[in-house]
Structures are given as C-alpha cells and as structure tokens.
A and B are shown apart, each in its own frame.
Chain A
C-alpha cells in the first residue's frame, strides 16, 4: 500500500458496467484520490477502463444531493430526514389505505447492490403489499433472462469471460464491447490477435469487426433471420452435433422443418446480408471445436428480442457449443448489477432466483420469513406502471437510482405519467430529469460509499465495500429503504447489508452457500451450493429444467415494430459510447466531458450528401413520436439508410424519438429500430424540446 500518497485503499467492485472489474480505491482526506484495477480481479485481471479508473470525480461534485428535498411550489426546499421520512411514510400509507397496495409501485436499480434491491422488493411486497416492483433490466436484458430460462433453464451466462480465451471462434451479435464493456472488449481483441476467429454481426461496423474474419451488417430488426439462416446452413450441410442433439435436447425436428425455408438467399432478401457471408459464418462457427456467442442490447431491445435470444440458443444447441470450456453463451449485461437486481427478485413476477410470485410454496416461504401475507398477483412492469399512472390506477411511485425521464422510451409519455402521479419519491445521488417531477427527493450514496454485493455478467457475486462516506447528510440506499419500511410498520431486522445477504442465502437454494466470507476477493458464481462450491460453467451435464434438456425454439422471423417509409426513410439505432455511461448522471460530472461532450448523429456519407449535411452540421431528427436536434457525424461505420446516436446528454432528449414498440414477451423497449426523418437545420442555437412542467 502506498502510505505516502494515500490514507487508505479499499478493494471493491466497479459500479459502471456489467463486466464487474475489481478495483482498488485509494482514499486521501476522505476523497477518492485514485482508482487502480485489482490484480486478482477475475473479470479484469489487473485492467480496467477509463470509467472505472478515472470517472470518480462525480463523488465529490458540488451538485451531489446532501439533504432531503421536499417540493414547494415549482421548486424544492431542503428538509430534515425526519420530515422527509414522515412525508414519504404518511403519503405512501394514505395512498395504500385509500386506493389499495396495488396503487403504489417501486423501482429498484440495477446500479444498486443486491441487498438494496432485495430490500426494495421486500419493502414493496411486505411493507406495502404489492408486487409492483421492477428494475431497469426491464429495458435492457429482460429478453435475455426470459429466453435463457426458456431454452436452458437459468437466467445467466452459461460460462465465464475466461471462455473467450479458450474459444476458437466467437460470434458477437448486437454488441459493441470496446465501447460498452471495454475490459471484455480488450480481452476479445487480444483473443482475436492470438487467433480466435471473430464474426461480428451489427448494423454498424464496430471496432472489433476490424479484428475479425467476417462482419455481417443486417438491417436493424432482422437478427432473427440472420440466426435462422446460420442454423439453416448448419443443418443443410450436416454440421450439427447429432449426438448432443439426441442426448441433451428436445424439439429439434420442429425447428429443422422451420429452417428449411430460411435459405441464405431468403435471408439475404430480408437482412441485406450477402448469402455467401451467411454460409461462411455458419461454416466457421459450426466447424470450430469451441465457440462462444456474445450478445448485447442490439439483440434484446427489439420487438422480438427475446425470440432472437432463443434462436441464438438454438445455434449453440445444434452444434453442441454450450456447457464446455471455450463454448459459452455470454450475454454482456449492461449495468453493474443488472444480473443481480433481477436475481434478487426486484421483478413484478418473481422472488429471488426467478421463483414466480404465483408459486404457492415460494410465497409461503417468504410469508413465513417476513411474517406478513403476500400477494400472489403479478405486478406491473415499468412500461405498465406508466400506462397505469396515466389511466389513474397507479397513484404513487418510489424510484431509486433510475432516471426514467431520460432513459426510458417515449419521454413525453413517461413525463406525462410522472406528472399524473399523486406522489413520487426519488432517491438518487443527483437531481435527475425524473426528480423534477418528485414530491420528495432523498439523497443517497454511490457505489464507492456503500457495502453489499453486485453480481456481474458471469453470475459472479462480488463484494462492494465503502471507500468513502456519503457526502453531507446523504445516507446509504440500504439505510433509507429499511428505515422507510420500518416506519411503514415492517421492520426487516437488518443491522447491515450483510444480514440481508444472509437472509437472501437462507431463502434461496441457488445462493445457499453465499456469504461475505465465501465471496471474499474472488467472488462466487451462482448456483452456490451450501458447501460453498460455485458454478463457473452451467449445463456441463444437464440443463436446468424438469426434462434436463436444452429446448429448441422454432420461431420464425417477424418484422420489427417500426419500418422506414416515405415520411421516415432512415432507421435510427440508439446506443452508447465508451466515455459515458447511460444517462451520464455520473460521467457528465467528471473530466470525461473533456473527451466527449455531446450526443452526435452518425450518418453515412451517401445519406449525408443526399441530405446536404456535412460533418458537424446541426440536424433535426423527427420520428413518429418526437423531434430532436443534434450535430451530425459523417462516418462509414454506419450503413447507408441507418443513423445512430446516444442518449447520454439530457439536453438531447434522444428518447423522445423512441416509440412504445416493445419485446412481445418482456416489454423491453425497441430502442434499436426507430424510423426517422433527418434534415439539416440552419439556425443556431439548437431547438430544445420542451416538456410539460419543465421550465
């Protein structure tokens, strides 16, 4: 330890993306002075990215919330914790008594710890009496969770990032790891440089395409056809693992019939991907000894996103590339704890480990543990919450660590819903677009100020330890949630988050062996058995469903929810860049803004020329539901006919453009296919969209 430069060093887990880098946070005079990667971090192995390493200045931003705020007229006034708690508890209590528990909904956060999310779910279920609890994985990887449970049984990656280095081939579909998951992106790039054959599938030519053997650029929303085409070639050319199909799977015959129609030529027609590329990709993957499939939100955030994940599972099952070292399906989960927040049951239909709220045995188990009767009725998903608010059925929301007014689709709809609520509590580290509509704002803590656990994209529980104190009067999320619950009459009885972790383990067989000590420095990948042994590889001998077999899904290609037409001739895809993190609440308050300070619209030179747009010009982007203005970036990374932008800066209001089309199984929004019209704008300054109630 460097005693001369730092007062102390705390090993913790990064709170940015789902890679789960282990970090050493170096503290000086109560502030984070520096962060370096932990040499023994299983996912990051002594490396991290600019967000994990450098983007910590937000912790000491002058804009941090340091005292509760209560709405007064058009603004907010500082209030004591006693007053804020009293207000939250009396309003939630009044609304529950007047309108019933289902008139209240809570949002847990995929940025928060497992213990925070579990406590929030318990607050809604036990203290309020409703299953109206959801988290932001709804709008990113809920289709992955749904599909993996359908096809294989468990909602998580089948292997670990270590499988990437063991793979002969890796297919990356709808994921841009060097931007979104930089440390895994670096590992993939190094694997490619050492000979792993990369096949990238994305409408944009992502950086890793330059290191791969083949890049396919399907039209947005046609991933299903690409997957069916790959499976067609594998079946047609006899490249299946017949033994694996016979012994380990079921439903292949039905799929095989469906595949007959998806010839590479048919697929070329639908996707725009040359037939010979489909053939070549299928051959490279199927003929390799080992192969990994990696995907991200480019797969899930579609009308049929969950079905595409099932089709990905088909490809792995047909070729026997699952459950073995070097052959893994690795969804790159977006946020640091998007895996854990869902695993913890912060979902409207499941308790921990995805046990349904309608399941009598599970409900009784939790009733016994919590000492209150529990609802068997499914709660609202996030989009349903906004619809219910607008229809007047939902009266109050308690949102923590999530900025729905910036990140959820169809911003105007979200804002109208928030305005309609009788009572809104926001618990966050900064004022956000969402907190503008709050009645009470509670100042909370960042990942560097709290204790607990995160679960990364490899299903690995990792410890989070506080390096610094929350600023001013801010409190940890765990303390706030458990206090509100106690004041509502339901005392959870937790002294610390570690007590909560013990309860989670005691009530969840899949996490039975999890404890602070067992997780230690190296983490534990669930299922964790009571003896503490964990599971780096799933399905090596059987799949986790009653039949113990992998399930093929015969799902045909269906067109996406939106399509280009004469009025809206271009397709907009939204995503992220390396330098910023989602709503940018944190990264916009660091020097990362010196590197990237605005959202840009990527457009192909052909489209730019046709529209008289030059690099750096201000353009107007109009969709069926909204209009924004931003600067154009002319680039050949994007295909003609497509445009791309990010949603990191609230002033852009990118999500005004996204409509309400959503995944058919999970209501994950279709952020990736929005028909738009782009035109140059002559005048400066830019047009700023105005929303109801925002001055």
Chain B
C-alpha cells in the first residue's frame, strides 16, 4: 500500500507497521522497547508519531499502516512525549547509562541530558555469578526486550519480568540467577538490552575499564 512519511511517498507490504514505513522512508523514530528480532511490544511509548486523522500521537511500532496514511515523525507533541518518557526512565537510574548503550544514544539524539525529576533511584544490585552474563539490576528499565529475546529468539524461557511499578525488574529463573535457571547462555538478552542491565561479564571485567580483554582460563590440570 501507498502512504506518506514526512512528505515522502512510501510503498509498504500488508501488515507493515508505521515504524516499518518510517524506517523505510529513512526517518528516525526513537525506540527503547523495540527490537526487530522480536514481535512489537508497544511498552515504552518512545516511538510516538503523528498520524493524520488521529487526535493524539500513536505508537509507531504497534500501529499498522493503512492505505493513504500520512505520518509525521517530527510532530512536536510526539517528540515531547518521547523526551518525557526518556527523562522519566533516566530519573530512576543511579547513574547515567554508558555512552554505547541504546538508551544513552536515544537520549542524546532527543537532546535529553538529564531529568527534570529527582527522587528515588534503583539501588545498585549486581549479580556476577554467571561466567559470561552479568545483571546490573539498577539499570533495568523494564522494556521487556531480554525476556522476549529469551522467549521469542532463543526459546529458553529463563527470564521473567518481576515486581511492579518502581520495583519492576527482570529475574532469571525464580530469582535464582542464570546458572540455576533454564538459561542456555546464548547471550541474546545481553545483546538486546538497551541499558546494560544485562551485559557481558567479560566486558565488565576487562575492556570497560580501559584494559585489554581478560586472560583465558588455564586448562585444568589432568587428573
């Protein structure tokens, strides 16, 4: 079907979302909970855009295209929503997200450098028991990407969203950590995480501090 994104004519297939159309047109739409390897989730509300004929901004990732739709990705109201979403997310973190993370990059592109709101931040809570995967729970923004990667990409069903509101976070197994869960150590969760709430242990240990990657373990002595 034919539609318009920021004044450009775009042809999309049946079933395409507004986000698909925007990306096809080369337009940038901020996203936090979206990963193209997963079904659209529509949780973060960062991807709001204006669509002709709707009174309020709509989420691009879960809105299906219609013939003749006119989409504005630069709509000021939508951008205000996105900035507010990112500011609220940042307000709960004890420290700024690392520059390489998707959250930091989205914030930078939206021109959000801090948060207007102060208040409670998540307590630092690290779990380094797995040799490759590390939890930094204080960085979790409950986007659900890790849980969906585990379910929809790998199929290990090891991660669960836990808690409500400010307490919302992610857990492996029944909170027992990766090693005691059905985790197969594929790392899809760390790969998709936009904040490093789940990240690579080897990067935490080594190069993130500026040094070289850590040594390899020695081969076990023969018995």
Residue positions of A touching B, CB distance < 8 A? 2, 4-6, 28-34, 36-37, 39, 45-50, 53-54, 57-63, 178, 182, 186, 189-190, 193, 578-579, 588-595, 597, 650-651, 685-686, 688
Q: Complex: how many Å from CA A685 to CA B221? A: 14
Residue positions of B touching A, CB distance < 8 A? 36-37, 99-100, 131-132, 152-155, 179, 184-188, 191, 200, 202-203, 206-208, 211-220, 222-223
Within the complex, the shortest CB–CB distance from B32 to chain A, in Å, comes to 18
Q: Complex: how many Å from CA A62 to CA B211? A: 18
Report whether A4 and B216 are in contact in the complex, using a CB–CB cutoff of 8 Å: no
Q: Complex: how many Å from CA A330 to CA B191? A: 28
Report whether A33 and B206 are in contact in the complex, using a CB–CB cutoff of 8 Å: yes
Report whether B184 and A57 are in contact in the complex, using a CB–CB cutoff of 8 Å: no
Within the complex, the shortest CB–CB distance from B102 to chain A, in Å, comes to 11
User: Chain A residues with Cβ under 8 A from B37's Cβ?
Assistant: 45-47
Report whether A189 and B155 are in contact in the complex, using a CB–CB cutoff of 8 Å: yes
Report whether B187 and A50 are in contact in the complex, using a CB–CB cutoff of 8 Å: yes
User: Chain A residues with Cβ under 8 A from B152's Cβ?
Assistant: 190
Q: A46-B37, A47-B186, A688-B223 are in contact. Are A28 and B212 (CB under 8 A)?
A: yes
Q: A60-B213, A578-B184 are in contact. Are A33 and B207 (CB under 8 A)?
A: yes
Q: How many A-B residue pairs have CB under 8 A?
A: 124
Q: Complex: how many Å from CA A186 to CA B151? A: 10
Report whether A651 and B223 are in contact in the complex, using a CB–CB cutoff of 8 Å: yes
Report whether B217 and A590 are in contact in the complex, using a CB–CB cutoff of 8 Å: yes
Q: A28-B213, A46-B37, A54-B202 are in contact. Are A186 and B222 (CB under 8 A)?
A: no
Helix, strand, loop or mixed for chain B's interface?
loop
State which of B179, B202, B206, B220 has its C-beta within 8 Å of the C-beta of A597.
B220
Report whether B217 and A34 are in contact in the complex, using a CB–CB cutoff of 8 Å: no
Report whether A186 and B155 are in contact in the complex, using a CB–CB cutoff of 8 Å: yes
Q: Complex: how many Å from CA A6 to CA B199? A: 15
Q: A32-B213, A589-B217 are in contact. Are A54 and B191 (CB under 8 A)?
A: no
User: Chain B residues with Cβ under 8 A from A45's Cβ?
Assistant: 37
User: Chain B residues with Cβ under 8 A from A589's Cβ?
Assistant: 216-217, 219
Report whether A54 and B132 are in contact in the complex, using a CB–CB cutoff of 8 Å: yes
Q: A34-B203, A47-B153, A186-B155 are in contact. Are A685 and B223 (CB under 8 A)?
A: yes
Most buried by B among A47, A588, A686: A47
Report whether B100 and A2 are in contact in the complex, using a CB–CB cutoff of 8 Å: yes
User: Chain A residues with Cβ under 8 A from B155's Cβ?
Assistant: 186, 189-190, 193
Q: Complex: how many Å from CA A50 to CA B37? A: 18
Report whether B213 and A593 are in contact in the complex, using a CB–CB cutoff of 8 Å: no
Q: Complex: how many Å from CA A53 to CA B132? A: 10
User: Chain A residues with Cβ under 8 A from B131's Cβ?
Assistant: 54, 591-592, 594-595
User: Chain A residues with Cβ under 8 A from B153's Cβ?
Assistant: 46-47, 186, 190
Within the complex, the shortest CB–CB distance from A5 to chain B, in Å, comes to 5
User: Chain A residues with Cβ under 8 A from B219's Cβ?
Assistant: 61, 63, 588-589
User: Chain B residues with Cβ under 8 A from A593's Cβ?
Assistant: 217, 220
User: Chain A residues with Cβ under 8 A from B132's Cβ?
Assistant: 50, 53-54, 591
Report whether B184 and A31 are in contact in the complex, using a CB–CB cutoff of 8 Å: no
Q: Which residue of B lies closest to A7 (CB)?
A: B207
User: Chain B residues with Cβ under 8 A from A651's Cβ?
Assistant: 222-223
User: Chain B residues with Cβ under 8 A from A60's Cβ?
Assistant: 213, 215-216
Could you show 13 A-B contacts with beta carbons less than 8 Å apart? A33-B203, A34-B207, A39-B36, A46-B153, A47-B186, A47-B191, A57-B217, A182-B186, A579-B185, A651-B222, A651-B223, A686-B223, A688-B223
Given contacts A29-B207, A57-B215, 14 further A-B contacts (CB under 8 A): A4-B100, A45-B37, A46-B37, A47-B37, A48-B187, A53-B132, A59-B216, A60-B213, A61-B216, A61-B219, A186-B155, A589-B219, A590-B217, A595-B131
Within the complex, the shortest CB–CB distance from A669 to chain B, in Å, comes to 25
User: Chain B residues with Cβ under 8 A from A58's Cβ?
Assistant: 216
Q: Which residue of B lies closest to A64 (CB)?
A: B216
User: Chain B residues with Cβ under 8 A from A193's Cβ?
Assistant: 155
Report whether B184 and A33 are in contact in the complex, using a CB–CB cutoff of 8 Å: no
User: Chain B residues with Cβ under 8 A from A34's Cβ?
Assistant: 200, 202-203, 207, 213
User: Chain B residues with Cβ under 8 A from A178's Cβ?
Assistant: 184
Q: Which residue of B lies closest to A49 (CB)?
A: B186
Q: Complex: how many Å from CA A349 to CA B213? A: 45
Q: A54-B202, A60-B215 are in contact. Are A48 and B222 (CB under 8 A)?
A: no
State which of B184, B214, B222 has its C-beta within 8 Å of the C-beta of A50.
B184
Q: A5-B207, A62-B218, A589-B219 are in contact. Are A595 and B185 (CB under 8 A)?
A: yes
Within the complex, the shortest CB–CB distance from A552 to chain B, in Å, comes to 37
Q: Which residue of B lies closest to A578 (CB)?
A: B184
Q: Which residue of B lies closest to A579 (CB)?
A: B185
Q: Complex: how many Å from CA A176 to CA B54? A: 51
Q: Complex: how many Å from CA A31 to CA B215? A: 10
Report whether B212 and A29 are in contact in the complex, using a CB–CB cutoff of 8 Å: yes
Q: Give me the 4 closest cross-chain CB pairs, A-B, nearest first.
A: A591-B131, A57-B216, A50-B185, A189-B155
Q: Complex: how many Å from CA A49 to CA B185? A: 7
Q: Which residue of A lies closest to B215 (CB)?
A: A60
Report whether A33 and B213 are in contact in the complex, using a CB–CB cutoff of 8 Å: yes
Q: Complex: how many Å from CA A182 to CA B187? A: 12
Report whether B100 and A588 are in contact in the complex, using a CB–CB cutoff of 8 Å: no
User: Chain B residues with Cβ under 8 A from A4's Cβ?
Assistant: 99-100
Report whether A47 and B185 are in contact in the complex, using a CB–CB cutoff of 8 Å: no
Report whether A33 and B202 are in contact in the complex, using a CB–CB cutoff of 8 Å: yes
State which of A2, A62, A578 has its C-beta within 8 Å of the C-beta of B216.
A62
State which of A31, A50, A190, A592 has its C-beta within 8 Å of the C-beta of B186.
A50
Q: Complex: how many Å from CA A651 to CA B36? A: 45
Q: Complex: how many Å from CA A481 to CA B80? A: 63
Within the complex, the shortest CB–CB distance from B133 to chain A, in Å, comes to 9
User: Chain A residues with Cβ under 8 A from B184's Cβ?
Assistant: 49-50, 178, 182, 578
User: Chain B residues with Cβ under 8 A from A189's Cβ?
Assistant: 155
Q: Which residue of A lies closest to B208 (CB)?
A: A5
User: Chain A residues with Cβ under 8 A from B211's Cβ?
Assistant: 29
Within the complex, the shortest CB–CB distance from A352 to chain B, in Å, comes to 35
